[in-house]
Amino acid sequence: MTSEPRPGRTVLLVARRELNTRLRTRSFVVSTVVSLVVLIGFVLTQSTLFDEEQTTRVGLNGQSIAVAGPLKDAAAQLDHAVTTNEVTDLAAGKEMVADGELDALVSGAPAELNVLARGDLDPDLRSVLNGLVQQQVLAGLLASVEDLDATAVLATVADAGVRVRSLEPEDPQHDERLALALIVVALLYLSLLLYGSMVAQGVVEEKSSRVVELLLATVRPWQLLSGKVLGLGLVGLIQLFAIGGVGLLLAILTGVVTISGAATGALAWGLLWYLLGYLLYATVFAAVGSLVSRQEDVQSVLMPITMVLVVAFLLGFAVLSRGPSGPTATVLSLLPPLSPILMPGRIALGAVPPWQVGLAIVLTLATVALLARLGGVVYRNSVLHMGPRLRLRDVLR
């Protein structure tokens, strides 16, 4: 009399089957090569991309409104686009700078401008504002002095300039950290989308070929689902580690990234959040995939989940570039569906305190447990159904 295999061993057998099958497929090799090529291209062109013309948003308060026109004209001569907005309340303007809505807040008389920035003030903007202040100082001297001392005038004008105050300490490595954050966000988005969809397609493939009926004759539905999720998750982890490792090494060798410690940390956090994000989404992908029996219907049922990932990806680029430590970025990165993409990006930028990281992990794990339970019910009740697409509410009944 032979004893039945233990549930954990059965899950591992299913996972090993998925791992061995997927690693040998042509699609895995092709996707890995394509991802490496894209990442290498991004690394090699990173400095060019960050040097492209960007629009700087400047708030003007009080008398400084008078420099709006000259500021735009002088910036345009440096091929630097500037937009100006009148800010009537200094306190509100400070909050706008802190939230990333403004890149700089200018106040004071034209000859004594004060500038408030969140971090580093753009060098072009500093140069333009210094030039405007010097022009005002020179005009004032010419209007008030009859017998001019050329040496004294030139010295006075040379010493004139804007007074800059930063809300946050200056970070000379900000651009490199931002590049790392965007790379991590892009890799996580692609990995979660690819391997989540692969789980759903695998479920539908087994249903349409009737293989699932043979498998469920020897294993339980939750064991089959857990093994599939585990196996494909390991495949994604292997690919992500390989791509991230090669990209990190190339970035360091080419000098695009010089902060190797921060880069290694960003990769480590990225791998952790890949695992959390994959566990969050994979069961949902599998459960939703079990509602249909044909590959042609897969994309339609996956659309709502895919849109959540797309929104997280777009928000990631927006909030990381503008206000990674602001309230908007903080709230969004704590939401479990968005945390796996936004939080590692904020970590790479050094814009998140430890308690927020811990809270995001706890909330994500709690959501994983809830969705795993719900997804398991959906999968168990619908995986053997053949025919038209099932409605979620009917399955949950």
Reply yes or no on whether the pLDDT at 1 is more than 50: no
Whether the pTM exceeds 0.85: the reply is no
Reply yes or no on whether the pLDDT at 327 is more than 60: yes
Q: What is the Cα–Cα distance from 195 to 191, expressed in whole angstroms?
A: 6
**Across 342-357, average pLDDT:** 87
Structure-block tokens of residue 304 = 């709502």
Reply yes or no on whether the pLDDT at 2 is more than 60: no
What local confidence, expressed as pLDDT, does residue 257 receive?
Answer: 61
Question: What is each CA distance from 277 to 182, 294, 312, in whole angstroms?
Answer: 17, 26, 12
Classify 53-166 by CATH class. Answer: alpha beta
- Token pair 């032979």 is found at 2
Reported as a pLDDT band with limits 50, 70 and 90, residue 214 is: confident
Q: What is the Cα–Cα distance from 240 to 274, expressed in whole angstroms?
A: 9
What local confidence, expressed as pLDDT, does residue 47 receive?
Answer: 47
Angle subtended by helix axes 26-51 and 174-208, to nearest 10: 160
- Token pair 């159904």 is found at 385
Higher-pLDDT residue of 277, 29: 277
Write down the domain spans for the chain.
7-48+173-396, 53-166
What local confidence, expressed as pLDDT, does residue 362 receive?
Answer: 95
